[in-house]
Amino acid sequence: MRKFVGVLCAFAIPAALVAGCGGVPGNAVATVDGEAIEKTTFDHWLMVAAKSGGQQAAQIPKPPEFTACVANKRKTLPKPAKGQPKVTDKQLKEQCTQEYNALRDQVLQLLISFEWIEGEANELGVKIKDEEVKKQFETTKKASFPKAADFDKFLKDSGQTLEDIMLRVRLDVLSNKIREKVTKGKDAVSDAEIKKYYDENKARFAQPERRDLLVVLTKTKAKADQAKALLDKGGKAGKWSTVAKKFSIDQASKAQGGKLLAVAKGQQEKALDDAVFKAGEKKITGPVKTQFGFYVFQVTKITAASQQTLEQSKQTIKQLLASQKQQKSLDKFVKDFRDKWKEKTECREGFQTQDCGNAPKPKATATPPGGVAPGGAPPTGAPQGAPPTGAPQGGPPTGAPQGAPPAGAPQGAPPAPEE
């Protein structure tokens, strides 16, 4: 029937003569590449989303009047403080509208993403077996819910069925396989690329000179002089741990007997930093005045600066560049994926989100510092890899549609080697 209607539509017969040529069927809230997302499915997941937010089914805001929602809010409103205006029904209705819109968008984002991932898997020829889904489900369930009763309670509290959970696990497995296919073979790194990166980032593979210290910090110079006198004298009363315990106001080093290890230049307050890197080893120095108080210190060990060779750094650089290349290919795929599937998505009026091809253009919003627009989540439905929201996680119900796509693709380069 779908193929037959498609042929009729291709011949551009007037819409009045052919019902179903485009548009959203009356029992659906959206279509993705001709597949309908039915209103009953939307209502079910709306209840799941509401339950995850602590709302009961009776508390779900119901458009367009939101009568019950307004009444519920009115019951729980505290009395206005003296001189403050009373909250109007109009204001309460606006709150109910905002809550409903947020739930609606979460649910539509989730359901649309289901269709997008299924559709993309079909186009790429990515297939999975029921056994794979069941194995993933059992593994996660066992880790999150050692007792069967805990899982049953999770289903009841979240409003989800076993079929819901299995669907989301299936979508997670598909998402992972799509990600693997997209990034496969995109991690090749040549020796020339490794050398170029090393030459341009040598400082990242260097270790600066570091000094181990014993320190005592006091509020006044007089106290610092007393502490230094005991240290200079030595003996049991002049041990660094004893003097630090008695005089120091720096709790971190005091708890370690006065030890402050592996200090690199530039890490301490300037006056102390300058004194530490001018001081000779084993010499008790101070008092040194700083904004925090007066320091007496001793350099106990000096570790010379070092530089990793290209050969020593090679594996780290190779992993970093491979990850960057995979991420670049995945970023391009995600953009194309979203653009393609958004064009294939049509939503009924009143259910239009930014994932719908017929969505109204968003109003211009100022971009905050840093260039990230509000709501900077990755595109809905883009295969990213993490367990889908609503897979068994243990603890309180986490099964509400969260809007974000499964995550877990390479998230960028590994951290640079520590200095």
3-state SS assignment for residue 90: helix
3-state SS assignment for residue 50: helix
Q: Which of 154, 105, 106 is nearest to 399 (CA)?
A: 154
**Residues 291 and 341 reside in one and the same domain:** no
**Residues 158 and 40 reside in one and the same domain:** yes
In a domain, 102, yes or no: yes
Q: What is the pLDDT of residue 153?
A: 93
* Dist. CA 35–CA 228, nearest whole Å: 81
**Residues 45 and 144 reside in one and the same domain:** yes
**Residues 341 and 267 reside in one and the same domain:** no
Tens digit of each residue's pLDDT (9 = 90 or more) over 279-289: 999 999 999 99
**Higher-confidence position of 402 and 182:** 182
In a domain, 201, yes or no: no
Mean pLDDT of 337-360: 93
In a domain, 264, yes or no: yes
In a domain, 218, yes or no: yes
**CA 59-62-63 angle, 5° bins:** 155
Contact partners, residue 195, CB within 8 Å, separation at least 6: 310
Q: What is the pLDDT of residue 26?
A: 86
Question: How is residue 163 written in tokens?
Answer: 């079929």
CATH number, domain containing residue 216 = 3.10.50.40
In a domain, 40, yes or no: yes
Tens digit of each residue's pLDDT (9 = 90 or more) over 219-263: 999 999 999 999 999 888 889 999 999 999 999 999 999 999 999
In a domain, 10, yes or no: no
In a domain, 289, yes or no: yes
**Residues 88 and 182 reside in one and the same domain:** yes
Q: What is the pLDDT of residue 61?
A: 86
In a domain, 197, yes or no: no
**Higher-confidence position of 396 and 304:** 304
pLDDT-derived band of residue 22, with 50, 70 and 90 as boundaries?
low
Asked whether 319 and 414 are in contact (CB, 8 A), the reply is yes
Mean pLDDT of the chain: 82
72 pLDDT above the threshold of 80: yes
Please give the order of strands across the beta sheet that includes 345-347. Answer: 35-38, 28-32, 345-347
Mean pLDDT of 377-394: 39
- Lowest pLDDT segment from 15-24, 29-38, 165-174: 15-24
**Residues 176 and 72 reside in one and the same domain:** yes
In percent, the amount of the chain with pLDDT more than 90 equals 68
**Residues 239 and 168 reside in one and the same domain:** no
Domains in the chain: how many in total? 2
Q: Which of 213, 228, 224 is nearest to 294 (CA)?
A: 224
Of 288, 304, 320, the domain-final residue? 304
**Residues 143 and 100 reside in one and the same domain:** yes
Its pTM stands at 0.64
- Lowest pLDDT segment from 86-90, 139-143, 187-191, 412-416: 412-416
Give me the domain span that covers residue 275: 209-304
Question: How is residue 66 written in tokens?
Answer: 């939101």
Can you count the helices (H) and strands (E) in the chain? 13, 9
**Residues 154 and 48 reside in one and the same domain:** yes
* Dist. CA 291–CA 192, nearest whole Å: 49
Tens digit of each residue's pLDDT (9 = 90 or more) over 111-145: 999 999 999 999 999 999 999 999 999 999 999 99
46 pLDDT above the threshold of 90: yes
Tens digit of each residue's pLDDT (9 = 90 or more) over 32-43: 999 999 999 999
**Residues 52 and 123 reside in one and the same domain:** yes
**Residues 284 and 329 reside in one and the same domain:** no
**Residues 243 and 298 reside in one and the same domain:** yes
